[in-house]
Structure 1
Amino acid sequence: EKEWNIGLGLTDNDQYDEYLALVEYEWAPADRLGLEVELPFSLHYPVGDNGDAPGNRLNSIKIAGQYTFWVSEKHKTSMAFGYIQEFELTNFSNYGAGKLFTGNIYNPFFIAAKRLGSNFHSLIYTGPAIAHHYSDGAIHTSWQINSNLHYMIPGTRNFIGLEFNKEFNQGDFDMTIRPQLRLDVADNMLIGIVTGIPIKRETERFSSFLRLIYEPGN
């Protein structure tokens, strides 16, 4: 299996609007093993005369791997572990002026997925994101616990679902609810649509994201 993902998104913040874009390639070189390379971009524009926006940049070079170590047809359950490595990059305006890479993010994770009945699917994703900044050597750890429930429309690859993104960050708790759907528009092409509704975030408001998924023929 293999697929290309192209994504475009918008996040409304207090001081600025953030436009997101990504290019991602995923493939499975062996049974139960998935690999991924992703390039996520972010562009920021101030809101109003007093808005203050970060610089525009290619956020990182992200590589990831996931291995599904247990599958039970009897219990309709699978479990996997994986690892995401991000090489963080500086703003476009700083290219050529110093260090291109500004730090690393180390993100081991665990996933448990279970099918509920014939068409409902549930999943839990959890793990720490350990950020290491080169400038001062600081190491910062946050924990992510994401859960979701999807309903697969019978006879199709379409689904509708609800995802809960939860983050614990040095005593601070944030959660965003993400209604989402996926539409099968051709034999090898799908479209994913996600909105983000923050429940407890001090600066982020509504967000939306559109993902185009292309599956090349094997």
Structure 2
Amino acid sequence: MNIKKILMPLLFLASSTCVLAQITNATKDSLYIEEVELHHELPKVLHAEPLYIDLIRDLGARKGEKEWNLGFGMTDKLKFDEYEALVEYEWAPINRLGFEVELPFTFHSDINGTPKDSMPSNKLNSIKLATQWSFFVNEKIATSMAIGYINEFELSDFRNFGKPFIKGNVYNPFLVVAKRWGNNFHSLIYTGPMIEQNFKTNHFHTTYDINTSFHYMITGTRNFVGIELNKTIDKKDFDMTIRPQMRLEITNQTMLGIVTGIPIARENQRFSAFIRLIWEPLHRPNKISVTIEQPI
């Protein structure tokens, strides 16, 4: 019996199987990254975007991108429940530059007969206008940076609506730095001051936000799990809310984000929950389909 004639086909089959497995895994790992980053003249790095304090537009935004968001949340405020809702539209009129318009609402419900006079009034919190410019995008090191500005025209609550209509303004410049580690791990920092002006008293109050997030994106999808750490410094006071979260892709254009909130100190609130429905009108090619043929 010629052993060489028996071993050679087996070795060829084994090596072919190993190569096929390596190609398959590599394809799965890079499938969505290739969809975002390749086959375009303008560089862009895929980053996982936090779900609670989200970005104005994708880092490295390309002209024509747009997105609608609907958000719903509930927070236990010790003596009453607070419900939030938001409608948000964001778009990129030119490369690297994004804009956003948001209408955030707040409603309140008593707990165990809490007097209504002791609760805040329901309101449309503000008219929020924002912009963001990605000034650094490097595919080689998978890093992006952006600066932005949010301006909130604060409105009177529904009890005193129109008296006055705009009661104050919030000025919020910010910086974003994001880094992807390999194909699946993502980190991001979003930070900046919030300067609130009361038009009646002309009083200014400044806080500083430092929001960091870490995510793991599931291989070959846009689904991820992660955590967002929302930190606020107010003079000598420090507050932080830990927000575990996950994002699920429903269709090519629709995603659902689910967030829970756990404050490290229960001074003003306890547990909270938030969901975000994301819809992206078609503005990019369909997902890449890859066919791998068995070696003959």
Q: TM-score scaled to structure 2, two decimals?
A: 0.71
Aligned to 2:83: 19
Deviation at 1:137, TM superposition (A): 1.1
Aligned to 1:39: 103
Deviation at 1:28, TM superposition (A): 1.1
Following superposition of structure 1 onto structure 2, how do residues 1-218 of structure 1 map, counting pairs within 5 Å?
1-50=65-114, 52-96=118-162, 98-218=163-283
Q: Tell me how many residue pairs correspond in the alignment.
A: 217
Contact 2:80 2:114 in 1 (8 A): no
Post-superposition CA distance 1:133-184 (Å, at most 9, x none): 1121110000000101011111111111101000001210000000011110
Amino acid at match of 2:263: P
For the residue of structure 2 that corresponds to 1:205, the secondary structure is coil
Counterpart Cα distance in 2 of 1:194 and 1:204: 16
Deviation at 1:76, TM superposition (A): 1.5
Say which structure is richer in helix. Answer: 2
Counterpart Cα distance in 2 of 1:108 and 1:24: 19
RMSD: 1.1
Counterpart Cα distance in 2 of 1:190 and 1:50: 37
Amino acid at match of 1:124: I
Deviation at 1:200, TM superposition (A): 2.2
Amino acid at match of 2:250: V
Counterpart Cα distance in 1 of 2:95 and 2:227: 28
Counterpart Cα distance in 2 of 1:118 and 1:187: 20
Contact 1:192 1:211 in 2 (8 A): yes
Any stretches of 5+ residues in structure 2 without a counterpart? 1-64, 284-296
Deviation at 1:198, TM superposition (A): 0.3
Amino acid at match of 1:11: T
Counterpart Cα distance in 2 of 1:192 and 1:35: 21
For the residue of structure 2 that corresponds to 1:187, the secondary structure is coil
Amino acid at match of 1:127: G
Post-superposition CA distance 1:77-99 (Å, at most 9, x none): 11110000000001112124x21
Counterpart Cα distance in 2 of 1:129 and 1:201: 22
Counterpart Cα distance in 2 of 1:53 and 1:150: 36
Say which structure is richer in strand. Answer: 1
Please identify runs of 4+ aligned residues in structure 1 that moved more than 4 A.
Answer: none
Contact 1:173 1:200 in 2 (8 A): no
Deviation at 1:204, TM superposition (A): 1.1
Counterpart Cα distance in 1 of 2:114 and 2:273: 24
Post-superposition CA distance 1:23-73 (Å, at most 9, x none): 000111112111100000000122223452100000000011110101122
Report % sequence identity: 58
Q: TM-score scaled to structure 1, two decimals?
A: 0.96
The structure with the largest alpha-carbon Rg is 2
Any stretches of 5+ residues in structure 1 without a counterpart? none
Counterpart Cα distance in 1 of 2:184 and 2:238: 32
Aligned to 2:27: none
Post-superposition CA distance 1:94-137 (Å, at most 9, x none): 124x2111100000000100011211010001100000011211
